[in-house]
Amino acid sequence: MVKDGEILVFADFNLYSKDAVFKCLYWFGDKFHTGVSFIDSNTYCISLRPLSIANVNSDDLELYLQKLERDLIDYQLRDTIARETQNIRDLLVAKAFSNGEFDEDPPGDVSDPVGFNPNLASV
């Protein structure tokens, strides 16, 4: 909601991670004083108060509220992706910068339909 020239958003702690909330608010720091607090054990209170030098009109606050709500969802999605894929990303980078010693052969044998056996040729 927009109240007294300030944007206030309440977010469920069980739905939004702390990382997602802070990464989202990072991008509002050029125009707003940003604040995060708990109003109870399950709810964040997120506030955005326009910086005096930022020239944010009161009419714009509704648009920024919409952007904040949308960005919170996007950053929660990013957080979910990052958490779910952290191990595979580490594995990918480790393999990329290894010297191939951990690479596995592709599954199956190389077939030899025309009588040229590439496995033998490489010996």
Partner 1 sequence: MIESTVDRKTRKFRELNFYDQQEENQYFLLPFRFHRLNDAKEVLVNEVGDHLVASAGTVQLLVSKQLSKIEYPELYGDLIANFFISEEQIPPLIDLYATRYRTKKSFLDGFTSLHIFVISLRCEHTCHYCQVSRVTQDKGTFDMSLEHIDKGIDLMMRSPSQFLTMEFQGGEALLAFDNIVYAVTRAKELAPAFGKEINYVICTNLALINEEMLGFCKENSILISSSLDGPSYVHNQNRHRPEKNSYEMTVKGIELSREILGKDRVSALMTTSNLSLEYPVEIVEEYYNQGFRSIFLRPISPYGFAVKNERKNKYETEKFLSFYKKAFARILEYNFSGEFFSEDYATIILRKILTPFPVGYVDLNSPTGAITNVIVFNYDGSVYASDESRMLAEMKDYTFKLGHLDTHSYEEIFYGEQAQKIVQVGTNESLPGCSDCAFQSYCGADPIHNYATQGDMIGYRPTSSFCHKNMEIIRYLIELMDSDKNIEQIFQSWVKQRT
* Chosen residue from 104, 115, 116, 119 binding partner 1 by CB under 8 A: 104
Binding of residue 26 to partner 1 (CB under 8 A): yes
| Contact status: 29 vs partner 1 (CB under 8 A) | yes
Piece in contact with partner 1 (CB under 8 A), picked from 4-12, 36-44, 57-65, 92-100: 92-100
Q: Contacting partner 1 (CB under 8 A), which of 2, 15, 63, 110?
A: 110
Q: Which residues of 92-102 are buried (b: 16+ CB within 10 A; e: fewer)?
A: eeeeeeeeeee
Phi (first) and psi of residue 8, to 5 degrees: -125, 130
The pair phi, psi for residue 81, each rounded to 5°, is -60, -45
Task: Find, among 76, 87, 66, the residue nearest to 44 by Cα.
Answer: 76
Tokens of 88: 């595979």
Which parts of this chain interact with partner 1 (CB under 8 A)? 23, 26-30, 53, 73-75, 77-78, 80-82, 84-85, 88-89, 91-93, 95-97, 103-104, 106-111, 113
